[in-house]
Amino acid sequence: MATLAFIGLGSMGLGMAENLLKAGHTLTVYNRTAAKAAPLQALGATVAPTPAAAARGAEGVFTMVTDDAALTELTTGPDGLLAGLAPGAVHVSCSTVAPATTTRLAAAHAAHGSQLVAAPAFGKPDAAAAAKLWLGLAGPAETRARAKPWLEPLGQGTHEFGDDPAMASVVKLCGNFLLGAAIEAMAEAYTLAEKSGVGRQPLHDFLVGTLFNCPVYHNYGRMIASRHYLPVGAPPPVIRKDFRLVLDHAQQLAAPMPLAQLVHNRMSTTVARHENDVDWTAFARRVSEDAGLEA
Amino acid sequence: MATLAFIGLGSMGLGMAENLLKAGHTLTVYNRTAAKAAPLQALGATVAPTPAAAARGAEGVFTMVTDDAALTELTTGPDGLLAGLAPGAVHVSCSTVAPATTTRLAAAHAAHGSQLVAAPAFGKPDAAAAAKLWLGLAGPAETRARAKPWLEPLGQGTHEFGDDPAMASVVKLCGNFLLGAAIEAMAEAYTLAEKSGVGRQPLHDFLVGTLFNCPVYHNYGRMIASRHYLPVGAPPPVIRKDFRLVLDHAQQLAAPMPLAQLVHNRMSTTVARHENDVDWTAFARRVSEDAGLEA
Amino acid sequence: MATLAFIGLGSMGLGMAENLLKAGHTLTVYNRTAAKAAPLQALGATVAPTPAAAARGAEGVFTMVTDDAALTELTTGPDGLLAGLAPGAVHVSCSTVAPATTTRLAAAHAAHGSQLVAAPAFGKPDAAAAAKLWLGLAGPAETRARAKPWLEPLGQGTHEFGDDPAMASVVKLCGNFLLGAAIEAMAEAYTLAEKSGVGRQPLHDFLVGTLFNCPVYHNYGRMIASRHYLPVGAPPPVIRKDFRLVLDHAQQLAAPMPLAQLVHNRMSTTVARHENDVDWTAFARRVSEDAGLEA
Amino acid sequence: MATLAFIGLGSMGLGMAENLLKAGHTLTVYNRTAAKAAPLQALGATVAPTPAAAARGAEGVFTMVTDDAALTELTTGPDGLLAGLAPGAVHVSCSTVAPATTTRLAAAHAAHGSQLVAAPAFGKPDAAAAAKLWLGLAGPAETRARAKPWLEPLGQGTHEFGDDPAMASVVKLCGNFLLGAAIEAMAEAYTLAEKSGVGRQPLHDFLVGTLFNCPVYHNYGRMIASRHYLPVGAPPPVIRKDFRLVLDHAQQLAAPMPLAQLVHNRMSTTVARHENDVDWTAFARRVSEDAGLEA
């Protein structure tokens, strides 16, 4: 068992941190809004006042926050984790961020004498709570070897992507893109089925019972078929940010992704209309509206 | 056991007809190029010189041909199956055609005193041969009840879509659209992964081992990851035709499908360049080319 | 001066027919709703009860109707103009129709011993009334030579496109496509300007005073800048049909036109929402809505 | 006559600086590659070793450089113009940059006691040389009043966009976007005309002789019709950068611009294939290639 820290106790981080505790690790936690740490404190976690304080004495520090700016601030800012982290310790970065951000932070760690691995988490908050996440992992081989056992209690399995931590960030962006692509595809098909007279639900039931019998189509498709976009796994602005990261990365590589642009546009409209209290899957409404439904 | 006919012995139809024979049905077959019927004749099938002759005396006539024009000709043309079909007999129409074509042919059957059910088949030629197809079924309830047992030896299961046979044609178009959408999505993601340095194969292995663990992503994704678009399940012109049917139907319903248009465009380019000796999945090459790869 | 007929007295045809009369031609007219012919009768036109009757005795018959079906019916239908037209007479087809329709009707004329030229008209109803149209012209050289002087009183000039009448139909489709493309472009730019704080009108005034100083940007741009989509030059369903013709033609040639698809989608949404009492330029609203404006 | 400086002597800046000299202004110039200043020196300009040196003593400093990074560096960098500029002097920023960059630099000027106006230039290098540019102008009213006369010898006219200099940057982005949109539209139409048999040139001649009789369609259309993308007004990477700025700005405002994305994708492909020795209009090749031409 290791001495670990966990920074960022949002809907994903809370479940992940709890599973580290349950696995027997010694855990110090930090969250900007301290109240969210209470349930973990009850389970034995220590609450730190700053990321630096949380990192002090830890062999490994997990981070799970909303965006690149937050991750950068809590890593390299005045009270950031680097200010407390011992040389040789490991930063396990689980957030969805730009590959370039991962590269930049890895360089900051190298200068500090510590290491960063990127370990993005695939799954919704309920999967985080149930230790059913899938995890990517990339970074220097030796560091990966140290971090991998810590990831075990968080999910169903860990896939490694080599020595460059940015590669795991790329994989995470690809994964989220593919989810959005499947949502757009189902939204178009179910809308056609509705206007044709087949109905949304019969088409959905057929697809997930046959060719598309996998969790993504079951879970997101159920929302699209029923037009009931709750509970909120992730709200539209958060995943819209992820698609911006996909497109920024693709633009830097001169790799056109028209389908990613289409989904990004749907989500921009969703955010522009302040539909923020639904799951991001609700961008499927745009497809129906464009066909004159739900007006 | 029933007295059946099968018209259209292409890569799909041949396997389906063979499975009807193996199930013990009495089968008469017809194909424009008669030579293709030889293996079925060896298994006990009778070869008819025209669709009308094939239909004569049959309780049910299956058709599995390339497009709307071929299906219309062999149904209502001079030597078409209606010219031989007994009143009360059933036409089991398995081709991918426009819902409007299905409606038109159903009306021709009604005038003739016979019935049409649409029973589109989901799966590649190897699935047809292995009796692993999934089948849709729509048409008048009583007629469906007669036809359903005949479908059993062809696949893994049959899903019913009500009394209007055109609805099964809609479901088939939706299914093919969703396949193309998944291919486009993987092509964009794998291209990004390649240009990023992750590589196509590691991303594919991760996805199909986790969130996208279903046959579509396994089978089509393998081709896209390896850039090896063989064997030919269906060549580009055939599926391009299917996407035209999707878009024509969507246009009539005023239901915009930008993702279907994107895939259709990829396939138009593929056909315009005469890349017809590969599986239609090869439209994924367009995505790589647009990113400056494979030039 | 010639003995002519004019079939189709909609908002475009009425002005065109009046200008033929004013030029001194002897004119017989036909319209499905006969009442629309009254003003022309007052100017000396004879009103015929059928297209065939209108065509009887005419050296040239103009047609200007809504779509391919109407044109086909009034040309080759039971009381169609071919039933009255003398061998050697000329059909001047001004409607926006599929190139394939033009080809089909030209063949019907050839069989009849008459000729068809396509002479699509570019301009709005007010330009038709003011004899400010631009005309395309294609068909056999000798026939073009006969028809060209008749076109003179209708517009500002006639451009010839060779011996194949279908080529003029292609040019007309290209022209309408370019109008729609310019509308989409302005709609996106003006929406960005509005959300940025520049405002729609200042951007419009700048553009049409500098780089885009041509009628299309002035006239359509004024509507988009002011969000006032009146008067109705052509309603959304009519031009949506034109874009369908563009896409059908492009699909047959395997020539992807993603911008034409984008505009077509905007217009499908407009039609699906029954916004039919505005000029087709109003599809620009979709762009604003997608940005969270006009909701 | 004023004491001015000009920084950035590329294909645009050189002509602009020369026209300031010809108008009788006293001019100090700076360019990273000093050799480019030689022709101006011959006309009486003083050559400065740094932006700071060029700005020293100037009432107004023009800048015309490639991108946001270059502009930021030469304004606020160690030897940047702010290091030499007198309080009360004016920075006339002519480059195409992000509105946010303009805002940031305007704030730096405010802190310094100087002012910034944005004065983006519309036109190609030949228009810059011939004093045929169109200029936008935005910034504090009093500063605009001082700068406006300096702009007179550069072009055909100046349009003002209020007190916020960022607004002129927005207008410039909108203008470039509209150029790209027109190119895409012509490329799709001319490709359809080519595959139809009309030919590219006849369609072009018709359009620019009638509805689209304005410089943009004449000049860019000539290249597209002839497929001859020379001379280079601006190379693909430069305008691709402009489209990235458009899309970044639109993304921040949640204003989807699918047509801007389409053009950006075309240019990404062009850059990914290293086609950098042609005018950016050459992205029109992508449209032809997608239709199976130019392969």
For all residues of chain A together, what is the average pLDDT? 97
Question: Same structural domain for residues A34 and A123?
Answer: yes
Q: Between the CA of residue B56 and those of B2, B6, B94, B125, what are the distances in Å?
A: 14, 12, 19, 28
Contact D273 B295 (CB under 8 A): yes
Cα–Cα distance measured from residue A33 to residue C11, given in angstroms and rounded to the nearest whole number = 67
Contact A268 C290 (CB under 8 A): yes
Please, which residues have CB within 8 angstroms of residue A208's CB and are 6 or more apart in sequence?
Answer: A217, A218, A221
Q: Looking at the complex, report in whole angstroms how far the Cα of residue B287 sits from the nearest Cα belonging to chain A.
A: 8
Order of strands, sheet of B133-137, starting from the edge strand that comes earlier in the sequence? B121-122, B133-137, B155-160
Q: Span A270-291, mean pLDDT? A: 97
Is A29 in contact with A54 (CB distance < 8 Å)? yes
Question: Same structural domain for residues D56 and D104?
Answer: yes
Of residues A164, A2, A185, A24, the one with CA closest to residue A99: A164
The tokens describing B221, both together, are 């994704």
Residue D7 lies in a domain: yes
Question: Same structural domain for residues A137 and A205?
Answer: no
Shortest CA distance from C254: residue in chain B: B268
Residue B295 lies in a domain: no
Is B138 in contact with B164 (CB distance < 8 Å)? yes
pLDDT in tens, C109-120: 999 999 999 999
Continuous segment of H or E residues that includes residue A58: none
The tokens describing A42, both together, are 């009850």
Helix, strand, or coil (residue A252): helix
Continuous segment of H or E residues that includes residue D7: strand D3-7
Question: Same structural domain for residues C159 and C174?
Answer: no
Question: Same structural domain for residues D174 and D159?
Answer: no
Regions of chain B short of the pLDDT cut 50: none
The tokens describing B242, both together, are 């299917």
pLDDT in tens, D143-184: 999 999 999 999 999 999 999 999 999 999 999 999 999 999
Cα–Cα distance measured from residue D123 to residue C211, given in angstroms and rounded to the nearest whole number = 9
Angle at D245 between CA D241 and CA D251, to 5 degrees: 140
CATH of the domain at D253: 1.10.1040.10
Residue C295 lies in a domain: no
Q: Looking at the complex, report in whole angstroms how far the Cα of residue B174 sits from the nearest Cα belonging to chain A.
A: 6
Cα–Cα distance measured from residue A136 to residue A140, given in angstroms and rounded to the nearest whole number = 14
Phi (first) and psi of residue B17, to 5 degrees: -65, -40
**Residues of D annotated as catalytic (active site), given as ranges:** 172
Helix, strand, or coil (residue B68): helix
Is D169 in contact with D104 (CB distance < 8 Å)? no
Phi (first) and psi of residue A109, to 5 degrees: -65, -45
Q: Between the CA of residue A164 and those of A117, A136, A243, C157, C186, what are the distances in Å?
A: 8, 12, 22, 66, 44
Cα–Cα distance measured from residue D199 to residue D105, given in angstroms and rounded to the nearest whole number = 49
Supply the range of the domain harboring residue A29.
Answer: 3-163
pLDDT of A294: 79
Question: Which one-letter DSSP state was computed for residue C85?
Answer: P
Cα–Cα distance measured from residue C110 to residue C108, given in angstroms and rounded to the nearest whole number = 5
pLDDT in tens, C168-188: 999 999 999 999 999 999 999
The tokens describing D102, both together, are 């303009």
Buried b (16+ CB within 10 A) or exposed e, D172-205: bbbbbbbbbbbbbbbbbbbbbbbbbebbbebbbe
Q: Span A261-266, mean pLDDT? A: 98
Please, which residues have CB within 8 angstroms of residue D189's CB and are 6 or more apart in sequence?
Answer: C174, C177, C178, D203, D207
Phi (first) and psi of residue A285, to 5 degrees: -60, -35
* Percentage, residues of chain D above pLDDT 70: 100
The reply to whether C268 touches chain B by the CB within 8 Å rule is yes
* Angle of the C258-272 helix axis to the C236-252 helix axis, nearest 10: 150
pLDDT of C295: 57
Q: Which of D148, D163, D178 is the last residue of a domain?
A: D163
Q: Looking at the complex, report in whole angstroms how far the Cα of residue A254 sits from the nearest Cα belonging to chain D.
A: 5
Question: Same structural domain for residues B180 and B151?
Answer: no
Is B228 in contact with B200 (CB distance < 8 Å)? no
Residue D295 lies in a domain: no
Question: Same structural domain for residues B261 and B144?
Answer: no
pLDDT of B294: 79
Question: Same structural domain for residues A28 and A149?
Answer: yes
Q: Give the CA-trace dihedral at B218, B219, B223, B229, to 10 degrees.
A: 180
Predicted complex ipTM exceeds 0.95: yes
CATH of the domain at D37: 3.40.50.720
Cα–Cα distance measured from residue B193 to residue B203, given in angstroms and rounded to the nearest whole number = 7
Is D63 in contact with D8 (CB distance < 8 Å)? yes
Q: Looking at the complex, report in whole angstroms how far the Cα of residue C120 sits from the nearest Cα belonging to chain D.
A: 13
The tokens describing B79, both together, are 């030597």
pLDDT at residue C291 greater than cutoff 80: yes
Question: Same structural domain for residues B157 and B183?
Answer: no
Please, which residues have CB within 8 angstroms of residue D144's CB and are 6 or more apart in sequence?
Answer: D117, D137, D138, D160
Of residues D153, D160, D115, the one with CA closest to residue D136: D160
Q: Which of C163, C179, C202 is the last residue of a domain?
A: C163
Of A256, A271, A272, the CB nearest to D269: A256
Question: Same structural domain for residues D118 and D178?
Answer: no
The tokens describing D198, both together, are 């009309």
Is D250 in contact with D151 (CB distance < 8 Å)? no
Continuous segment of H or E residues that includes residue A9: none
Residue at B150: amino acid letter:
W
pLDDT of B295: 56
Q: Which residues pair with A26 in a beta bridge?
A: A3
Residue at C87: amino acid letter:
P
Residue A295 lies in a domain: no
Angle at D127 between CA D122 and CA D128, to 5 degrees: 80
pLDDT at residue A295 greater than cutoff 80: no
pLDDT in tens, A31-59: 999 999 999 999 999 999 999 999 999 99
For all residues of chain C together, what is the average pLDDT? 97
Helix, strand, or coil (residue C219): helix
Of A272, A291, A292, the CB nearest to C291: A272
The reply to whether C141 touches chain A by the CB within 8 Å rule is no
Regions of chain D short of the pLDDT cut 50: none
Residue A255 lies in a domain: yes
pLDDT at residue A229 greater than cutoff 80: yes
Active-site annotation holder among A22, A132, A148, A172 = A172
Q: Between the CA of residue B242 and those of A53, A224, B155, what are the distances in Å?
A: 61, 24, 22
Q: Where are the beta strands (DSSP E) in chain C?
A: 3-7, 26-30, 46-47, 60-63, 90-93, 115-118, 121-122, 133-137, 155-160
Residue C238 lies in a domain: yes
The reply to whether D260 touches chain C by the CB within 8 Å rule is yes
Cβ-based contacts of B256 with chain C (< 8 Å): 264-265, 268-269
Question: Same structural domain for residues D159 and D221?
Answer: no
Of residues A38, C181, A145, B172, the one with CA closest to residue D185: C181
Cβ-based contacts of A292 with chain C (< 8 Å): 269, 271-274
Cα–Cα distance measured from residue B240 to residue A159, given in angstroms and rounded to the nearest whole number = 36
pLDDT of C29: 98
Cβ-based contacts of C271 with chain B (< 8 Å): 254
The reply to whether B253 touches chain A by the CB within 8 Å rule is yes
pLDDT at residue C256 greater than cutoff 70: yes
pLDDT of A57: 97
Question: Same structural domain for residues B88 and B191?
Answer: no
Buried b (16+ CB within 10 A) or exposed e, C12-40: bbbbbbbbbbebebbbbbbbeeeebbeeb
Q: Which of B113, B131, B163 is the last residue of a domain?
A: B163
The tokens describing B101, both together, are 């074509």
The reply to whether D274 touches chain A by the CB within 8 Å rule is no
Runs of H (alpha helix) within B43-164 = 51-55, 68-76, 99-112, 125-129, 141-151
The reply to whether A39 touches chain D by the CB within 8 Å rule is no
pLDDT at residue C294 greater than cutoff 90: no
Terminal-residue alpha carbon distance, chain A: 56
Residue A66 lies in a domain: yes
Cβ-based contacts of C196 with chain A (< 8 Å): none
Q: Count of domains in chain B? A: 2
> Could you identify the residue written with the tokens 């509105």?
D99
Residue at C69: amino acid letter:
A
Shortest CA distance from A287: residue in chain C: C269
Contact B269 C256 (CB under 8 A): yes
Q: Where are the beta strands (DSSP E) in A55-209?
A: 60-63, 90-93, 115-118, 121-122, 133-137, 155-160
